[in-house]
Structure 1
Amino acid sequence: MSYAAGRHFLQIPGPTNVPDSILRAMSAPVIDHRGPEFAELGRELLQGVKPVFGTTNPVVIYPATGTGAWEAALVNTLSPGDRILGFETGHFATLWREMARGFGLEVDFVPGDWRHGASPEVVADTLAADTAHAIKAVCVVHNETSTGVTSRVPDVRAAIDAAGHPALLLVDTISSLGSIDYRHDEWGVDVTVAGSQKGLMLPPGMSFNAVSEKAMEAAKTAALPKTFWDWGPMLAANQRGFFPYTPNTNLMYGLKEALRLLNEEGLPNVFARHARHAEATRAAVRGWGLEVVCLDEREHSGSLTAVLVPDGVDADKVREVILDRFDMSLGAGLGKLAGKIFRIGHLGAFNDLTLAGTLAGVQMGLTLAGVPLDRTGIDAALERLQSE
């Protein structure tokens, strides 16, 4: 592609665009991570991040990607041979299953069509039948980044409770935290997994575990091997604002600014903004005569929209045209959806005009790629954006 004036449109579902104020915050000089100035920063962030998770319990911060936080959730709560219940909601749920199997865990993996979230009814039936309480944890991806489907975590929790089952609830919020309403404590989640590079508007490299008291109790007997991920040394050092090994200091500066931005807008407003942009995007997709991946109206993602292309169309070729002509990156189809869908990210530092430009680029790209569509489709999105 020849030189393109203007900025690149990064409309993948993460990493997302990093606001200028966060970039400036991260450019501060590195400080001594064993000194008093850092301890003050550490204590502030360890408390300040809790409301984003909807918790008053500890949140562990790792210098790692979300994959590391997946591993931390498993190794701190489970032992070799333990059984867990998971759901094939998409590519990332499948990867979490593979990680669990690699640790010698037995995974009861409920097959899915990648167009629906985790089934609370299956949770209820499976746990009710597990009278020996062999299943130690239920693993759910809250917002499946590969499909744009959001599982109904409160309903999953209710199903676990209705079965009277002691299984832990582990939830991946990597592409929902800071974008979609989430309540760790209220929903009875035991470990929440998150990453920095999506709703928190940071670069990749920081991940999180929000931990319930029940999860902390499970950690006392969990026998999977761990050193780097061990909650114990982390939480002990965190009491003084420190970490047991070198933290990612400058990302912590960025996190401080990200929390300021989220609090300034107000989390309810952040969630409403994402929901509104998602509605407008779906209106455009349907106006074009295309189909979104998610089939349940209760499970549409506020973070991204996955779009099915017609049979015979290569979604990656569409993405290639859009990148080449309009300097805009869209998310690829992953796993068994490769070449069949593209994903529009509308999360993080994002406003109405950014979405309008994004959808205009998608519509033009679809037209240039020869995809049959109604070219007035974008009008439905613009109408939604003009409404209160």
Structure 2
Amino acid sequence: MSTKKIFKLAYGREHLAIPGPSNIPQRVLQAMNRPAPNIYGKEIEVVTEKVREGISKFANTNGKTVIYVSNGHGVWEAALANLFRPSDKVLLCSTGHFGQSWGIIAKRLRLELTHLDVGFNSIIDPNQIEKILKNDKSKKIKGILAVHTDTSSSSRNKIQEFREAIDVTKHPAILVVDAIASFGCERIEMDPWGVDVLITASQKGLMTPPGLAYCIVNEHAQDYSKTLNNKDEITSPYWDWEPRLNPSRFYDIFSGTAPTNLLFGQLEALNMLIEEGRENVFNRHEILSGMVWACIDHLGSDGGALSLNIKNKKHRSNAVTTIFSKGFDFGKVREWISEQGGVDLGVGIGFSSRELLEGRSVFRIGHMGYLNPHMILGVLSLLEAGLEKENIPFTPGGVNAATELMVKKLRSKKN
């Protein structure tokens, strides 16, 4: 006797609406779908250099890119290992779970933290940084760590104002910025904004599977770390970026075997960003994120349960949106959307209040990387259907609000 199979509508292409890994373009997958090359040959050397140059160019910097076979947590540690030593003081600016997690790594490396933590629903006020640096009369703070977009809260810090706060106090602290979620989605101008080290990874706006991560290092940070490493043995030989920046042989760039096929994929993703145009990439993400916000605002109006975590539009990320369904467990909606709609939404991270049912009322929509309007509108349509199915209060018409916003924005761009 045959077993009756469960009926599902989700037999098309699956869609990731989580805040990373993002959807991988077919072109990237095809670029990776080939035999590994000779790791001692010229081809992989050329590809590696193109990736390094492409990452630096997109960051708008004359600095050099260091490649690690790693995830984002690895390059958090790499930056700390190259720039600081046990008992060094650093200022950590935290706007969510991932900023806090970076601080845990810093403590494990025995750094002394001053933690500027504004919670999960706000951004860092640069005046607070200025005040802390002014009070640091002996200039003991060696560095400032900041997350541009924290995917747990979906906030976006005004990094350009951080450098202004440093400069006005004439403080020598190194500015290190995590742009893992924002790179390739949000505008970030490394040299014009005075960022010394920019951290990112392959799996979000860079549209490549997880496994590659980057420290983009300006000349000041290179000189600083080189002087430091000449005085003391570096904490970790593997994270040491000096031989990677100035290799005596190709092997040194990766401290071992090159991640060949990931590099082929990353180069193709960079080619796609170049073809689209840097400004167009930023504008596309701005419009797509605005569509999500317009939809959620409408669904949550007139007694609807949904609301955006970050209330001020200027403080929101264009890469991810954190949403509440206060008083309602959103888990069943998320499961239904995945099973019947073929779309995976992001879970909430770091929210534990009773009001939010220990985080079960929180979900996230990722809108980063390889994405267009029909993909976003499909996600939002399924969200409305899921709310209807699970009897969570909402005001119908959220998708219409999103399309109206899209048309309005496109008209303004045309004019």
Category of TM-score, reference length = shorter chain: over 0.9
Q: Does 1:299 align with 2:315?
A: yes
AA aligned opposite 2:37: I
AA aligned opposite 2:383: V
Give the CA deviation at 1:321: 2.6
Task: Give the alignment partner of residue 229 of structure 1, picking from 239, 243, 247.
Answer: 239
| CA-to-aligned-CA distance 1:85-107 (integer Å, 9 cap, x gap) | 11230010010000000000011
Task: Give the alignment partner of residue 107 of structure 2, picking from 98, 101, 104.
Answer: 101
Q: Against the structure 1 CA distance between its residues 239 and 276, is the aligned structure 2 distance closer, same or farther, given a 3 Å change threshold?
A: farther
The answer on whether the counterparts of 2:61 and 2:189 sit within 8 Å (CA) in structure 1 is: yes
Task: Give the alignment partner of residue 324 of structure 2, picking from 276, 284, 308.
Answer: 308
Task: Give the alignment partner of residue 270 of structure 2, picking from 259, 266, 277.
Answer: 259
Q: Which is worse superposed, 176-185 or 234-243?
A: 234-243
Indicate the residue corresponding to 1:247 in structure 2.
258
Determine the C-alpha separation between the residues in 2 that align with 1:242 and 1:253.
19
Tell me the TM-score normalized by structure 2: 0.90
| CA-to-aligned-CA distance 1:33-69 (integer Å, 9 cap, x gap) | 2222222222222222211111111100111111111
AA aligned opposite 1:77: L
Q: Which is worse superposed, 27-36 or 258-267?
A: 27-36
AA aligned opposite 1:65: N
Q: Does 1:55 align with 2:48?
A: no
Runs of 5+ consecutive residues of structure 2 not aligned to the other structure: 1-5, 301-305, 353-358, 411-415
Determine the C-alpha separation between the residues in 1 that align with 2:312 and 2:170.
27
Q: Does 1:38 align with 2:30?
A: no
Task: Give the alignment partner of residue 322 of structure 1, picking from 337, 356, 375.
Answer: 337
Indicate the residue corresponding to 1:111 in structure 2.
117
Dislocated runs of 4+, deviation >4 Å: 238-242
Indicate the residue corresponding to 1:186 in structure 2.
192
AA aligned opposite 1:158: E
Q: Which is worse superposed, 12-21 or 297-306?
A: 297-306
Task: Give the alignment partner of residue 340 of structure 1, picking from 361, 372, 385.
Answer: 361
Determine the C-alpha separation between the residues in 1 that align with 2:17 and 2:381.
13
The answer on whether the counterparts of 1:287 and 1:376 sit within 8 Å (CA) in structure 2 is: yes
Determine the C-alpha separation between the residues in 2 that align with 1:236 and 1:330.
42
Identity within the alignment, %: 35
Determine the C-alpha separation between the residues in 1 that align with 2:169 and 2:205.
33
AA aligned opposite 2:14: H
The answer on whether the counterparts of 2:203 and 2:210 sit within 8 Å (CA) in structure 1 is: yes
Determine the C-alpha separation between the residues in 1 that align with 2:44 and 2:13.
35
- Report how many residues are paired: 387
Give the CA deviation at 1:251: 0.6
| CA-to-aligned-CA distance 1:324-348 (integer Å, 9 cap, x gap) | 3322111111122532311001111
The answer on whether the counterparts of 1:277 and 1:346 sit within 8 Å (CA) in structure 2 is: yes
> SS in structure 2 opposite 1:221?
helix
Give the CA deviation at 1:318: 2.7
Give the CA deviation at 1:239: 8.0
Q: Does 1:282 align with 2:298?
A: no
> SS in structure 2 opposite 1:259?
helix
Q: Does 1:21 align with 2:37?
A: no
Q: Against the structure 1 CA distance between its residues 2 and 99, is the aligned structure 2 distance closer, same or farther, given a 3 Å change threshold?
A: farther
Give the CA deviation at 1:305: 1.0
Task: Give the alignment partner of residue 8 of structure 1, picking from 10, 14, 36.
Answer: 14
Task: Give the alignment partner of residue 381 of structure 2, picking from 354, 357, 360.
Answer: 360
Determine the C-alpha separation between the residues in 2 that align with 1:96 and 1:123.
18
| CA-to-aligned-CA distance 1:209-249 (integer Å, 9 cap, x gap) | 00012211221215551111111111122886962311211
Give the CA deviation at 1:309: 1.0
Determine the C-alpha separation between the residues in 2 that align with 1:354 and 1:10.
10
Q: Against the structure 1 CA distance between its residues 266 and 241, is the aligned structure 2 distance closer, same or farther, given a 3 Å change threshold?
A: farther
Determine the C-alpha separation between the residues in 2 that align with 1:7 and 1:90.
32
The answer on whether the counterparts of 1:86 and 1:109 sit within 8 Å (CA) in structure 2 is: yes
The answer on whether the counterparts of 1:43 and 1:241 sit within 8 Å (CA) in structure 2 is: no
Determine the C-alpha separation between the residues in 1 that align with 2:221 and 2:333.
45
| CA-to-aligned-CA distance 1:341-377 (integer Å, 9 cap, x gap) | 1100111100011111011011111222221110112
Determine the C-alpha separation between the residues in 2 that align with 1:316 and 1:69.
32
> SS in structure 1 opposite 2:184?
coil
Tell me the TM-score normalized by structure 1: 0.96
The answer on whether the counterparts of 2:380 and 2:398 sit within 8 Å (CA) in structure 1 is: no
> SS in structure 2 opposite 1:344?
strand
Determine the C-alpha separation between the residues in 2 that align with 1:237 and 1:314.
53
Determine the C-alpha separation between the residues in 2 that align with 1:42 and 1:135.
35
The answer on whether the counterparts of 1:42 and 1:241 sit within 8 Å (CA) in structure 2 is: no
| CA-to-aligned-CA distance 1:285-307 (integer Å, 9 cap, x gap) | 00011321113332111101111
Indicate the residue corresponding to 1:386 in structure 2.
407
Q: Against the structure 1 CA distance between its residues 361 and 331, is the aligned structure 2 distance closer, same or farther, given a 3 Å change threshold?
A: same
Q: Against the structure 1 CA distance between its residues 111 and 40, is the aligned structure 2 distance closer, same or farther, given a 3 Å change threshold?
A: closer
Q: Which is worse superposed, 184-193 or 112-121?
A: 112-121
Determine the C-alpha separation between the residues in 1 that align with 2:80 and 2:27.
35
Alpha-carbon RMSD: 1.6
The answer on whether the counterparts of 1:78 and 1:218 sit within 8 Å (CA) in structure 2 is: no
AA aligned opposite 1:234: R
